[in-house]
Amino acid sequence: MVDLLQYAYCYCEENTYMCLEKVRELPDLFDCSYAIFMSSFVCDPSQEVCNQWTSAVPYRSFKSPDPSIDLVIWDYHVVAVVRFKESGKWFVIDRDSSLPSSKESILGDWCKYCVDLDVYCSNALFPERSLAVPYASRVQLLMDAVRYRIITGDEFLCFFRSDRSHMIDSSGKYLQEPPSWPPIKDFPSWIGPTKREKVQAVLKSLSPFCQHNNITCLINMANTVVPGTVVSRHSLLDFFSLDSAN
């Protein structure tokens, strides 16, 4: 079976970008989408240094039932959230997760990628619940420091830039094999002139080194210039509940 979504290991931000591009082509299936950046990095935006940050995000892939095997600490993570038009139900698309996929057969081939939002949040956002003491308390402290930048799908597709320099070591070699598709350096073809002008103004306001790779800005949860609403893990479900009501 042909995979609907392209994937590159350790390039979650680009996996999410490619996913949301596909989602945008299916307005009869999904009527709303978001990208979510997860990070504990906080600094004065004027002090940002390209591709430098300190962040700890506990993450379970759930490939194993034993949390001691598949619990890792990442510096950041990015996932997509989509809303099924027919039911108004929210789903997370996280290509690194093995949480059970949705049983909504009406999603068709997308069913295998979609995890119910409440299932994802209760498991991925609260990994300490499956851990023994004293590890649970340590992980809880780390998770309580993580924040979530929620960006509308269109805003993310218009704003995001990556020359992949954050994945290149001091010798010029990639830390992980880069994706097969080209780096994301420009606006999508569908953007209108007014939107382009607004996004371009924000991009130009960033430090020059961030204009070709703005991941540092997006994972800095203190940066209020870049798009997105920042919430804690305890408020994430509420955000989507309110969005559904609007």
Cis bond leading into 134, ω under 30°?
yes
- Asked if 162 and 184 touch (Cβ cutoff 8 Å), the reply is yes
For residue range 11-59, list pLDDT tens digits in order: 999 999 999 999 999 999 999 999 999 999 999 999 999 899 999 999 9
pLDDT at 2 over 70: no
- Given a contact cutoff of 8 angstroms between Cβ atoms, the answer to whether 185 and 211 are in contact is no
Contact 187, 196 (CB under 8 A): yes
Determine contact, residues 60/73, Cβ cutoff 8 Å: no
3-state secondary structure of 118: helix
Q: Where are the domains of the chain?
A: 12-245
Q: Which residue has the tokens 């704003």?
A: 159
- pTM (2 decimals)? 0.95
Length of the chain: 246
Residue 14 near residue 79 (C-beta atoms within 8 A): no
Q: Which whole-number Å values give the CA distances from 25 to 16, 21, 102, in the listed order? A: 15, 7, 21
Could you tell me the two tokens for 5?
A: 């979504």
pLDDT single digits (tens) 111-146: 999 999 999 999 999 999 988 888 899 999 999 999
Residue 235: per-residue pLDDT:
96
Q: What is the dihedral of CA 156, 159, 161, 166, to 10 degrees?
A: -70
- What is the DSSP code (8-state) at residue 162? B
Tell the CATH topology of 12-245: C8orf32 fold (3.10.620)
Structure confidence at residue 186 as a pLDDT band (50, 70, 90): very high
What is the reported pLDDT for 138?
94
